[in-house]
Chain A
Amino acid sequence: MSEPLLKVENLKKYYPIKGGIFGKVSETVRAVDGVSFTVNEGETLGIVGESGCGKSTTGRMIMRLIEPTEGSIQFEGKDILNISKSEMRKVRKDVQMIFQDPYASLNPRQTVGSIIEEPMIVHGLGDRKERRERVEELLELVGLSAYHAKRYPHQFSGGQRQRIGIARALAVRPKLIIADEPVSALDVSVQSQVLNLLQDLQKKFNLTYIFIAHDLSVVRHISNRVGVMYLGKIVEISDSESLYDNPKHPYTKALLSAVPIPDPDKTADRIILSGDVPSPAHPPAGCAFHDRCPVAMDICSKEKPVMKEMEDGRLVSCHLYD
């Protein structure tokens, strides 16, 4: 087996809450609390979870848009948390990001052409003429037209803007693309167009994706493997087929059963979780999910479960499988 493209180990991000006149740290918010996973070349890893579970923070830490508190991130075997700025810049050429909000992630004062060209200028790729040609090529690639380069973002619909964001990410020929909720702001009919585009591009350029989303159906469609996050931790990670067909962790089960199915004849047995996600500043002792878990045992409130490998290779963090 080949080396994974990306290896994340025990990644943590704590935010201190300062209070009082001396600005003493009174509490810490554990946004991401020990996340480990690997991503192989050419695959799509989906990360799902509800708001505040730390999925976006994880994505941004890989880009080093947020500095991790602890842990290691290895990209192509290189530890990217301990390299110089100029070396990091080289890594950023290989790792690009697509953002959620196609309205906020494009500069309204720049033409689409210069938005897509900018990463090439930053990384010193090609001369002016080559870059222009590349912009036109990219626009065609994502299903827009070359003449769109002269227009401004406000002249485009949400779906088209997301295509522009994808073209910008592809401009420097990255290996890994982190897509943070790339379709959640889009309507269903446009969402399917963008998902198909992402899949076509993946095949064409052998891209690797980390696909962060809250929509479980979308994640299943696009991912080879899926990690489920809850309160800053991954509770279950496995290939998407077995995760969706036979979820192991009680949270995964509840999450899957809560999705409304677009078929009136399928009234799935819903597991309705009581209460809300606890605050990451005060996660419950033991297993973070125990106070909402329908099958919680005594041990769950006392001991934190650890990630265990099941016989089929998937990883689950739950006392049920001790």
Chain B
Amino acid sequence: MSETILEVKGLKTSFFTDDGEVPAVDGINFSVNEGEILGIVGESGCGKSVTSLSIMGLLPSPPGKIVGGQILYKGEDISHAKESRMRKLRGNDIAMIFQEPMTSLNPVFTIGEQLTEAIRLHNHLPKKELESRAEELLKMVGLPRARELLKEYPHELSGGMRQRVMIAIAMSCDPKVLIADEPTTALDVTIQAQILDLMAKLNRETHTAIILITHDLGVVAQVCKRVVVMYAGKVVEEGDVRDIFNHPSHPYTEGLIRSIPDLYSKKEKLYTIKGSVPKPGSIKQGCLFAPRCDYVMDKCWTNAPELVGDSHKSRCFLHQEQA
């Protein structure tokens, strides 16, 4: 059994707006083991990106603030760590890649300058070594003409190449945890396949744990070992990827899986989850999914279910007889 490297315990992140406190992430728990790929899935507004920004200490503050819970990195609580401590961790221990490869690179610096920035900040290497390390990184992410690329600017590269550069930057200091927030959403399918392949390869070779945040269940099924399903700021189901896809126990997870059109066979009619995602904080009591649930029971409107289970956890009264 490998060790837990990152643990999120009861994390609550809220945004303080003119209309009051909006709980974007509302008491979530999950852990990441060394060298594993954990998927976090959910639709827009479920809090998956806010979770990753909270871990990285990159929440725009104000209005965002961590109001409760802990984020333990190797046992150390970093949820309210000083900026100087976060600077040491960011890039070096925990790195992140973003969705938009077009906007997350600085257009006025060369690839080489951006690639070596983190290495320069975290370890002091002589210039010669810096260059060869940068070249090595570009080769590692499968980019051809590494030497010339170092002198080129982001606009000279395609979307897929830029995302490879982003991955190279994130991997530059051998982080223990890599958070990938929708890394392939902006890319075409054939390029997406290349990038997912690359991430799986890096995970095998460097043993970096990856938190893959996505809305695409297909990506999760192909890459992740364990999955956390989020809905309206809460974890509604967590477990092994096979358990989740073959025996989803939360009606939301089941609904999500059933509403995807199948590539291999044509269904007469798609399953739909009725209604839409509630606004954060708009449902005051009961299960947050109750208004959209096909199996809703009386108690769902008044009592909020807890997340229970051992390896396969679910937040639903259907699987909790004692409640």
Point out residues on A near B: beta carbons under 8 Å.
50-51, 157-160, 187-193, 195-196, 199, 214, 216-218, 220-222, 240-241, 244, 254-265, 267, 270, 272-274, 276-277
Known: A187-B44, A221-B266. 13 other contacts (CB 8 A): A159-B276, A189-B273, A221-B261, A221-B267, A259-B263, A260-B222, A261-B218, A261-B263, A261-B264, A262-B257, A262-B260, A265-B246, A267-B222
A–B pairs, 16, beta carbons within 8 Å: A50-B188, A159-B276, A187-B215, A188-B259, A192-B260, A217-B260, A217-B262, A221-B262, A222-B261, A258-B189, A258-B193, A259-B218, A260-B221, A262-B218, A262-B221, A264-B242
Bound Cα distance from A190 to B267, whole angstroms: 17
Closest chain B residue to A48, Cβ basis: B189
Minimum distance in angstroms from A55 CB to a CB of chain B:
12
Q: Is the CB of A192 within 8 A of B257?
A: no
Residues of B within 8 Å of A190, CB to CB, are 43, 276
Give 1 or 0 for each of B30-72: 1 = CB within 8 Å of chain A CB.
0000000000000110000000000000000000000000000
Residues of B within 8 Å of A261, CB to CB, are 218, 221-222, 263-264
Interface: B100 (CB within 8 A): no
Bound Cα distance from A272 to B216, whole angstroms: 19
Residues of B within 8 Å of A276, CB to CB, are 158, 160-161, 191
Q: Is the CB of B259 within 8 A of A189?
A: yes
Q: Is the CB of B189 within 8 A of A192?
A: no
Residues of B within 8 Å of A263, CB to CB, are 221, 245
Residues of A within 8 Å of B271, CB to CB, are 192
Bound Cα distance from A35 to B92, whole angstroms: 51
Minimum distance in angstroms from A224 CB to a CB of chain B:
10
Residues of B within 8 Å of A262, CB to CB, are 217-218, 220-221, 245, 257, 260
Tier of interface size on chain B = 35 or more
Interface residues of B in 161-192 (CB under 8 A from A): 161, 188-192
Most chain B C-beta atoms within 10 Å of own C-beta, residue among A217, A258, A264, A267: A264
Q: Is the CB of A272 within 8 A of B188?
A: no
Bound Cα distance from A277 to B262, whole angstroms: 26
Q: Is the CB of A255 within 8 A of B260?
A: no
Interface: B270 (CB within 8 A): yes
Closest chain A residue to B142, Cβ basis: A274
Q: Is the CB of A260 within 8 A of B192?
A: yes
Interface: B256 (CB within 8 A): yes
Q: Is the CB of A187 within 8 A of B260?
A: no
Bound Cα distance from A192 to B191, whole angstroms: 25
Residues of A within 8 Å of B216, CB to CB, are 260
Residues of B within 8 Å of A220, CB to CB, are 261-263, 266
Interface: B140 (CB within 8 A): no
Bound Cα distance from A267 to B160, whole angstroms: 23
Minimum distance in angstroms from A83 CB to a CB of chain B:
37
Q: A189-B259, A256-B263 are in contact. Are A264 and B221 (CB under 8 A)?
A: yes
Closest chain A residue to B267, Cβ basis: A221
Minimum distance in angstroms from B106 CB to a CB of chain A:
22
Bound Cα distance from A274 to B215, whole angstroms: 25
Q: Is the CB of B260 within 8 A of A188?
A: yes
Q: Is the CB of A196 within 8 A of B269?
A: yes
Give 1 or 0 for each of B265-291: 1 = CB within 8 Å of chain A CB.
011011111101100000000000000
Q: A192-B271, A260-B222 are in contact. Are A270 and B188 (CB under 8 A)?
A: no
Residues of A within 8 Å of B262, CB to CB, are 217, 220-221
Bound Cα distance from A80 to B228, whole angstroms: 53
Residue from the list A158, A191, A259 in contact with B189, Cβ < 8 A = A259
Q: Is the CB of B272 within 8 A of A192?
A: yes
Interface: B241 (CB within 8 A): yes
Most chain B C-beta atoms within 10 Å of own C-beta, residue among A160, A221, A262, A272: A262
Interface: B308 (CB within 8 A): no
Bound Cα distance from A267 to B218, whole angstroms: 11
Minimum distance in angstroms from B157 CB to a CB of chain A:
9
Residues of B within 8 Å of A191, CB to CB, are 259
Interface: B10 (CB within 8 A): no
Bound Cα distance from A50 to B160, whole angstroms: 13
Interface residues of B in 229-269 (CB under 8 A from A): 241-242, 245-246, 255-257, 259-264, 266-267, 269
Closest chain A residue to B189, Cβ basis: A258
